[in-house]
Amino acid sequence: MAAELSARAEWRRHYMLPIAAAFGYATSVIHIYGIGAYIEPLSAAFGWSRTQIMFGLTLSTLVQAVCSVPIGLAVDKYGPRRFALIGVLLTTGAFALLSIASGSQTQWNLLWGVLAIATLPVQATVWTSAVATRFEASRGLAFAITLCGASVAAAIFPLMGAWLIRAYGWQSAFVVQGAIWAAIVFPITLIFFAGANDRRGRIAKVAAEPVRELEGTTLAEGFKSPIYHRLFLASLLFTFTIIALVVNFVPILTDMGSDPLRAAGIASIIGITSIAGRLTTGLLLDRFRASLVGAVVFMLPAIGSLCLLFAGGQFWGQAAAAAMIGLTMGAEVDVIVYLATQHFGLRRFGGLYGGLLTALSIGTSTGPLTAAAIYDRFGNYSPFLWLTLAFMIASSLALLTLPRPRFATIRH
């Protein structure tokens, strides 16, 4: 870019943007991190296996995988603000609609199909693209704060769901949880969320700068790059395992003898530690080579899996596993999106990140379903925990072999 802003100037002008984006990003994963508390009540109510319950999540994320690139291109063209405002209301409403589940597997899948379409306007591309256009010198930290939305979701949604289910039953809990979150997030998004390429409807404080011409590769150049292929592979393998661990964490602990509410409380450690993980990773990304930072933190779920395998019946083992998973969950999207901006620039960021989001979505859709199927087949999650070790090593190596970036952020 022609003129570089200092990190301090960026935060002075746009300090509320990453915070608003964090709330929006939490909305985009309400169905992923919120469904865990509902698994046992749904199974008890309808006699469903965990595979049957998780198939809806698989359907939802596969739809997102197919639509990620078109949504990203639309964000590049029209700006993210209008997608965000519509998507917050659609997503929370569709989550509440899960309350009408009647025991029909077909109906359950259709409800998740509605949720899949509703979440398209709030996918990660929307929130990160706005932040990327406003921050350069402090982009790592800005991304970290934005993506802390998932950390907030992982900390709040399981505990909120468990409490609401105990107080009102699972059907009312779906409705109340969706309504509460919409009432919080929509006003914040309306007031504070806008990117540099939002051409209309921008609030005065964030519209002070003219729309800039953004640098970067073309969409075709990015898709053909071996670097892009390695980022795609790392994204796929990582989310396949980490999302499965997070979604199934409460069932994993209850199978080891924990009370559901106690298990949800331990699971909230994932969200709390992921906030620390994201912020720390963001600071490290602004100071050290991003591929090396990512390669190191991508190995932490392996430690968490070992804790569950060998000390899963003890509180310290469960808490340590939650902490390790949380620290890494606080880094994976941050690292991928940061590396995407460094290697390919911002010119077609929405479309290129949309392609990587396809990998993230495929991993998200197949990981929890695979973990549930393994449980249904073997009666425990141990085989999946061993699989986690192998996939974390492979994803770490994919990042470790990346060359130096072409559009490296200028540090001040």
Answer positive or negative: Cα dihedral of 196, 202, 203, 204. Answer: positive
Residue 173 inside a domain? The answer is yes
Residue 408 inside a domain? The answer is no
Residue 367 inside a domain? The answer is yes
Residues 6+ apart with CB under 8 A from 258: 266, 318
Model confidence at 304, pLDDT cuts 50, 70, 90, reads confident
User: What is the domain extent for residue 393?
Assistant: 7-400
> 360 or 88: which carries more pLDDT confidence?
88
Q: Which pair of structure tokens corresponds to residue 264?
A: 């949800």
Any idea what the CATH number is for the domain that residue 338 is in? Answer: 1.20.1250.20
Q: What is the pLDDT of residue 214?
A: 61
Q: What is the pLDDT of residue 184?
A: 95
Residue 279 inside a domain? The answer is yes
Residue 129 inside a domain? The answer is yes
Q: What is the pLDDT of residues 55-108, one digit of tens each?
A: 887 777 778 777 877 887 888 778 889 999 999 999 999 999 999 999 898 999
Q: How many CB atoms lie within 10 A of CB 42?
A: 20
Residue 378: pLDDT over 50: yes
Number of domains in the chain: 1
Residue 412 inside a domain? The answer is no
Q: How many CB atoms lie within 10 A of CB 277?
A: 27
Angle at 126 between CA 291 and CA 94, to 5 degrees: 120
CB-based burial label for 167 (10 Å; 0-12, 13-18, 19+) = exposed
Per cent of the chain over pLDDT 70 is 92
Residues 6+ apart with CB under 8 A from 326: 151, 154, 269, 270, 271, 272, 273, 274, 276, 277
Q: Which pair of structure tokens corresponds to residue 93?
A: 């409403």
Residue 204: pLDDT over 70: no
Across 257-277, average pLDDT: 79
The mean predicted confidence, pLDDT, of the chain is 82
Model confidence at 4, pLDDT cuts 50, 70, 90, reads very low
Maximum separation of any 2 CA atoms in the chain, in Å: 61
Residue 202: pLDDT over 70: no
Q: Give the C-alpha separation, 209 to 207, whole Å.
A: 6
Residue 394: pLDDT over 50: yes
Residue 330: pLDDT over 70: no
Residue 411 inside a domain? The answer is no
Residue 123 inside a domain? The answer is yes
Q: What is the pLDDT of residue 177?
A: 96
Q: What is the pLDDT of residue 1?
A: 41
